[in-house]
Each structure stands twice: as structure tokens, then as C-alpha cells.
Amino acid sequence: MNKHPEYLLNKISGPQDLKKLSIPEMEQLAQEIRTLILEKDAAEGGHLGPDLGIVEATIAYHYVFDAPKDKIVWDVSHQTYPHKMLTGRALAWLDPDHYEDVTPYSNPDESPYDYYAVGHTSTSIALATGMAKARDLMGGHENIMALIGDGSMTGGLAYEGLNNAAIKKHNLVVVVNDNQMSIDENVGGLVTALKKLRDSNGETKENPFTAMGFDYRYVADGNDIKSMIEAFKAVKDVDHPILLHINTLKGKGYKPAIDQEEAHHWVVPFDLKTDKPLAPASSAPTANSVALDVVSEEIEKGTKLMAINAAIPGVFGLDKI
């Protein structure tokens, strides 16, 4: 049964319906989408913080661009819950009986608005660049966009994409969704570069993106629908590569997800009132816990160790040592 028959979202069967809304109505829609993300994640588990943070940008994208003719590639695609709700799949959030109707990532078997079955980081820019080149060879004119988080920008494949994206003067927009987090806190030279861009409102001369050939634009509040609509209108139908840097708040609308970003990147089923998991964590040993015990024992013996891990030390327990 539809839990929210009164929601405006029920009237949105696709972007064509979204385009009829006013700014206040879109702001109402954003709140409804956040509520539905929280309700479904509380019941089923899933990605939380990334989806809460990208709601306004997703609404603005579908308001301005003409999907599925215009195409967007979502990096990882774990942040596509709002996109799915706005492209004919809202019932999978409105009705608990349909929670399993959609996959947690983009899926071309599921919708013509999804172009790749993705799940790994850092691939979007290269994919979008290939789509743009194919479009040019075929004489097409649709807009091509990649949306990538600052966490994914720490992956090498993202730089291979950037290195090729701006070689040719053609329509291609790369949106960097900068929330200062990956799953864990970001590290590296790019973090410093993005901070300088944020602190200068995008005006610092130390800009790695212009150095690579991109026209650069900055949006200070990527969670403001009006600002995002204006930004997307400004880059629609461009004839050269543009990098649009937007500053968003991961976990927006749910304080625990803002205060504990890593813990709320992906969640198990939880109580919305207490933020506590519905089932206690298993006390049985895991591969990570066994490895951590061995490492801890070696450290106590005075053994010199260096740990090399993926960019999620908390998941491996390495933050404890």
C-alpha cells in the first residue's frame, strides 16, 4: 500500500511532470524524497548520506535537461535513489510491497534513464567522454554529463577521464559533487585544491581543472534548487567541456548522518527515532576482526608494520589503531 498518497511525488511519472512545478513545489518534493529515502533505508538498509545530499541537484537536473535524450552518468551510482524516484520508479519507495522492485545502482535493464550498470568508483568521466565522442561521430547534439563525488576523484581512472575529456571542443559537462567526504574522510592533494576553490568561491588561480582545459564554474550551495537550476541552464547546450563544481552537504535533512558521515554512508536497517540498528551486531569473528587482532598483537610486540587499505579504514577497523 502507498504510505503517502498525499505526496506530490505521486504526480511525477517522469521529468516531463517535474518541469511543470514551481520552485516551492520542487522544495516540497525534495523534502518528500528525503523522507522516503529515510523510511526505506530504515526498513531495508542501503546508501543514505550520498542520496540525502544530492536531492536538489537531481531535481534541478531533470528540470533543466531533457532526459533520456540528454544523458547523465552517475559515478558509482549509489546516489541515484532521487533520480529513480523522478524517472518513473517512485513506487519502490512509496510502497513497502515494492521495495524490491529496483536495484540500488543504475541499471539499464530497469529504465531508459539509466545507461550503465555501475557500482565502482571513478568511472563516470571516462564513460561520459566516450559517449560524447560517439555522439559527435554520429552527428548527435544531446547533452552529456558525468556526476562524480570528490571521493571518487581520488581514483586514478577519474584522472584518465579528465585527461581525455577536454582534448576536444565539444559538449561535455563534468559535475564534481564536493561534500568533503568519500566513505571516510578524504585525503590527498585534490582535497587541498578543492578547499582552496571553496574558500575562494571558485576564484583561486590555483585551479587544476582549468589547467586541464576545462571551463570552470562553481556553485556554493548545491543544495539550493534555484541555484542549481541556474547553474544547469548556464551549461546546457554548451559547445566546450565544462567542469561544474558544486558544494553539497552529505546527509542533509538527517542530523545523525551529518554528524557521523562515515557511519551513515551505508546503513543496515535502523530505528528512525533512535538511529540504532534494528538487529544487534554479530559478535562472531569476521575476516577483518581476525586480521585486526593479529595486527594488534604484532604492534604490541614492537613489530614495525605498514597497513595498506582501500579508502575506508573504518570499515577494516584500522581507525582503531
pLDDT tens per residue, range 190-207 = 888 999 999 999 999 999
Each residue of 262-286: pLDDT tens digit? 889 999 999 999 999 999 877 888 8
Looking at residue 187, what is its pLDDT?
A: 63
Each residue of 130-181: pLDDT tens digit? 999 999 999 999 999 999 998 899 899 999 999 999 998 999 999 999 987 6
Report the C-alpha gap between 177 and 242 in whole angstroms. 14
Query: Which residue blocks in the chain are alpha helix, DSSP H?
Result: 15-18, 23-44, 49-53, 55-64, 81-84, 91-94, 124-137, 156-165, 189-199, 208-211, 225-235, 255-259, 287-300, 313-316
pLDDT at 295 > cutoff 80: yes
Mean per-residue pLDDT of the chain? 94
Each residue of 66-109: pLDDT tens digit? 999 999 999 999 999 999 999 999 999 999 999 999 999 999 99
pTM: 0.94
Report the C-alpha gap between 196 and 105 in whole angstroms. 32
**Percent of the chain topping pLDDT 90:** 81
Identify how many contiguous H helices and E strands the chain contains and give both numbers. 14, 7
Using alpha carbons, select from 198, 230, 257, 196 the residue that is nearest to residue 53: 257
Q: What are phi and psi of 82, to 5 degrees?
A: -60, -40
pLDDT at 184 > cutoff 60: no
How far lies 15's CA from each of 64, 71, 180, in Å?
Answer: 9, 13, 29
**Which residue type is seen at 100?**
E
> What is the average pLDDT across 219-235?
99
pLDDT at 182 > cutoff 60: no
Q: Domain spans of the chain?
A: 8-267, 287-320
Q: Is 39 exposed, middle or buried (0-12, 13-18, 19+ CB in 10 A)?
A: middle
Cα 136 to chain centroid, rounded: 27
* Helix/strand/coil for 319: helix
> What is the average pLDDT across 39-57?
98
Strands 266-267 and 71-74: unpaired
- The pLDDT confidence band at residue 186, using thresholds 50, 70 and 90, is low
Contact 86, 58 (CB under 8 A): yes
Report the C-alpha gap between 246 and 236 in whole angstroms. 16
* Helix/strand/coil for 170: coil
> What is the dotted CATH code of the domain comprising 8-267?
3.40.50.970
- The pLDDT confidence band at residue 185, using thresholds 50, 70 and 90, is low
